[in-house]
Structure 1
Amino acid sequence: MWQQTLITLRARPRGFHLVTDELLAGLPEIKACRVGLLHLWLQHTSASLTINENADPAVRRDFERFFNRLIPQGTDDYEHNDEGLDDLPAHFKASVLGCQLSLPIQAGRLALGTWQGVYLGEHRDHGGARNVLATLHGEGE
């Protein structure tokens, strides 16, 4: 089985957001997949996808603080600022974290660890809705 679905994630404020449930809501076909892979491709250059802690929201807030210290905005060192002071720092953060994930499917579910979830890193002050191209490949029951 091969399937490809475009999922539009709702707009979120700057920061790190748990989007596992929103992605799964757009992919009910996973339930019929016994074993497989789900590839997620974020179609943006100023946001990112990563896997991390799914229980304590403090982790997501700490991620935002860490990346803002690592890649500050408002510095005179950046030439590219066509869309504002958050423009190039957003591109840097997206490149550091990446725009794609490959996740295993097992018995109709994502085979994530107990405390793992999919994060959207929204690196713009006003990024808007984000598109994820989800490609599912696997065998049914």
Structure 2
Amino acid sequence: MQAAAPAWAPPIVSSASAVSARPRRGARAGAGAVRCELAVSAPSSAAGSLAPRWAQRTVVIPPQRRGCHLITPKIVNGIRDDLSEFKCGMAHLFWPDDMPAHIKSSMFGCALTIPITDGRLNMGTWQGIWLCEHRDYATPRQIVITLMGSKSPMTIDTNSCKCNMTI
């Protein structure tokens, strides 16, 4: 029997899924199904830090010449103090759609969401935040950055993870 979760703790989330693959020739019916159950719970020592946290900043990017420009360092410098307080969460970047043509907006978009892990934007080695300037006479761009998350990550209870495979 499991102990009851403290009153402050979020409910334990369990998910189960069954995936059926095409059975091998000669295999019995129902073979090849995989069932996994995963329990996610909050660490008990993080009572006060699980409350959702929000921060929002506007970063002004100076005018850029026509072309695509890596602006990740400017974005990170603009949110560095707030970003360091997040253990996990999401960073949503939005800039107004004022490009000269709608096709450019549909190709590049005007918003971006990036995961936050351990106080840093969780991007791969070759990933970055880019500004593609299409105008001949550029103006400064205002980018609104909203950080959402918590100071303490949700943890996976590996003792409750069960995977059974039938072949």
Taking the aligned partners of 1:19 and 1:12, their CA distance within structure 2 comes to 10
Return the letter of the residue paired with 1:43.
P
* 1:132 matches 2:143: yes
User: For each residue in 1:37-57, what CA deviation from the matched residue of structure 2 results, as whole angstroms up to 9, or x when unmatched?
Assistant: 0000012321xxxxxxxxxxx
Match of 1:12?
64
- Mind listing any 5+ residue stretches in structure 2 that lack a counterpart? 1-52, 153-167
Return the letter of the residue paired with 2:118.
A
Using the TM superposition, give the Cα deviation of residue 92 of structure 1 relative to its aligned residue in structure 2, in angstroms. 2.4
3-state SS in 2 of match to 1:33: coil
* 1:24 matches 2:35: no
Moved over 2 A (4+): none
CA RMSD across the alignment: 1.2
Q: Higher helix proportion, which one?
A: 1
* 1:111 matches 2:164: no
Query: How many corresponding residue pairs?
Result: 99
Which structure has more relative contact order (CA 8 Å, sep 6+)? It is 1
Taking the aligned partners of 2:114 and 2:88, their CA distance within structure 1 comes to 11
Kindly, what percent of the aligned residue pairs are identical? 36
After TM superposition, the score normalised by the length of structure 2 is 0.56
Answer whether contact 1:94 1:123 (CA < 8 A) is retained.
Answer: no
* 1:95 matches 2:106: yes
